[in-house]
Structure 1
Amino acid sequence: MTDAIKILGSVAEVVHQHLPHVLANRRDVTWKEDGSPVTVADVFLENAIKDHLTGLMGDINFVGEESYAVGAADDKDWTAVLDPIDGTENFCSGLPEWGVSLSIWHKREHAASMLMVPEMGLKLMTGDKIDYQTSRIMGFSSSINDKLVEMIPVGGEARIMGCAVYNLFNVVRGSLARFVNPAGAKSWDMLAGVQLAREHGCEVIVEGAPYDGRYLEPDRKHRFDIRHRHDLHPR
């Protein structure tokens, strides 16, 4: 089975199937070397999705936040890039603003992407139509650095949500006018989101240049800035 959009739909079903177990384990927290939290649910959901993908697609390059190792083999035609629970700090604090990010690639060409915010019942996949909103709110990453601090006072209405998936979902649908991360994020945090932003006509800047849809390597952080183009909406 290599129909990427159908695969994403089946992964969404897996997430919903396991959601009660995921939520039941949100308080079982340990800490990574960088001081960020990881829960039993992060690892469980990553493994469940990986098993599902390999069951459908066979041996693939799997890039998951909780299992990726620098220098891992990258020699298969199909690649899946997954963050099973983005916004873990929110998740383990009992907040619903956390999400799942999955992007599927064939020979390093984008095939399909999906963002989910399961506890809020939100999902956006490649090919979906959107009822666009019009917002003036600017969303910021919770990875604070000096550049971000400088931008907040001049950004007008500002929000820091603590979840890249939720921010990306909202800038794509126009509930945020802009979402910026000047500190940078790993590919599993943002690759699906920037692809969906391109699909829906947003202006996408990665590392200071217009994003052309290329595969982003998982062993580094990528700075990005996305603007929802309200001027492109039908009137």
Structure 2
Amino acid sequence: MSIDLVVPENVELTTLLDELRKLSWAAADVLMAYARGQEPPYGFPKSLTIEEGGDGPVSAADMAVNELLISGLKDNFTFQDWDILSEETTKEKTFHRTNYKKDWCWILDPLDGTKDFLQGSENYAVHIALAHKKKPKIGLVLIPERNELWVGIIGSGAWCENRNGFKKDISFSERLDISELVLVSSKNHQQSTLLNLLSTLSFSKTKRIGSVGCKVASILRGESDVYISLSGKTAPKDWDMAAPHALIEAAGGMFSHADGANLIYQKSDYSQSGCLIASHGKSHLNICKKAMKFFSKEEPKFKV
């Protein structure tokens, strides 16, 4: 795949990645300072405030990283023909969904796994994705507490690097049979339909980790093999999925609806509803087939 399909023609990929590295590790410094009760850098307020928003707790850390990322993207690139969609900006009164119509769009989650972050867990992440015509092309998942920056470029591959620039290749597991696969699942979101589906699929065991980015990183390390998201009363949003989606596909894995349909981004409600399955790809079609058999028999009204 040529570079001009993953970045705009007048944006240099290497320069873009260098800037994203700087922004990512700056975000790590901010989040880790808040996590430890220390004075955050770059002039952000020290107090960690918590308020319940429509989709969960929002902290000063979320807002600080949101400001850092957006200002960094705006200040360091002359190319202006892209939108910037962030979880935090969609909650602002001045936000207008109809303004987000450009071909290129940044999709950001300044702090994925806020509950884990507030509980003192290391399983929180920063998601940065660049999408073109509603499809993610570049995905970065930063896991500060593990000193990991996962980078995926569709058509070019994926890798993990630390703050010093040392790179590691992706290491998918060799597990193939569904009965051997390890599921990575949420600690905070469980519902009866999902539990029944998982009982039918009968994976060998389950690891519980917060943050979609951290779950996908677990698959990329070979610690687990598959992640399943099932929407209930609420559904995940673009910013939860875009960066992990680009990352795992760039690595050679798969991320789709249970019926094999692609995830589509920048819809009017930015919702990623249905049954979404991410995996190392080797058993993906079999997982989807077995899941669809479950829905056909047990939950025929569920829109996968």
Answer whether contact 2:183 2:226 (CA < 8 A) is retained.
yes
Residue 63 of structure 1 aligns to a residue in which SS? strand
- Which of 19-28 and 71-80 deviates more? 19-28
User: Which residue of the other structure, out of 196, 205, 226, is the alignment partner of 1:150?
Assistant: 196
User: Alpha-carbon deviation of 1:220?
Assistant: 1.8
Answer whether contact 2:158 2:251 (CA < 8 A) is retained.
no
User: Which residue of the other structure, out of 277, 280, 288, is the alignment partner of 1:225?
Assistant: 277
**Distance verdict in 2 for CA 1:80–1:71, change over 3 Å:** same
Residue 7 of structure 1 aligns to a residue in which SS? helix
* Alignment partner of 1:16 is 2:19: no
Aligned length: 231
**Distance verdict in 2 for CA 1:6–1:181, change over 3 Å:** farther
What TM-score comes out, normalization by structure 1 length?
Answer: 0.84
How many angstroms apart in 1 are the aligned matches of 2:212 and 2:133? Answer: 26
Deviations 1:158-215 (A, max 9, x none): 0221111100122244321111111241110111111222222223222x33244643
Please identify runs of 4+ aligned residues in structure 1 that moved more than 6 A. Answer: none
**Distance verdict in 2 for CA 1:211–1:9, change over 3 Å:** farther
- Who is 1:115 aligned against? 141
**Distance verdict in 2 for CA 1:7–1:209, change over 3 Å:** farther
- Who is 2:216 aligned against? 168
Aligned CA RMSD, in angstroms, stands at 2.6
**Distance verdict in 2 for CA 1:32–1:219, change over 3 Å:** farther
Unaligned residue ranges in structure 1 (runs of 5+): none
Return the letter of the residue paired with 1:149.
L
Deviations 1:100-152 (A, max 9, x none): 11111234454311111122111221233424142632012332221222244
- Who is 1:37 aligned against? 57
Answer whether contact 2:81 2:102 (CA < 8 A) is retained.
yes
Deviations 1:60-85 (A, max 9, x none): 31110111146241133421000011
**Distance verdict in 2 for CA 1:34–1:139, change over 3 Å:** same
Return the letter of the residue paired with 1:144.
Q
**Distance verdict in 2 for CA 1:116–1:211, change over 3 Å:** farther
Deviations 1:6-54 (A, max 9, x none): 4244223223234333223346132233362111011010111001111
Instruction: Give the fraction of aligned pairs with identical amino acids, expressed as a percent.
Output: 18
Q: Which has the larger radius of gyration?
A: 2
What TM-score comes out, normalization by structure 2 length?
Answer: 0.67
Return the letter of the residue paired with 1:196.
L
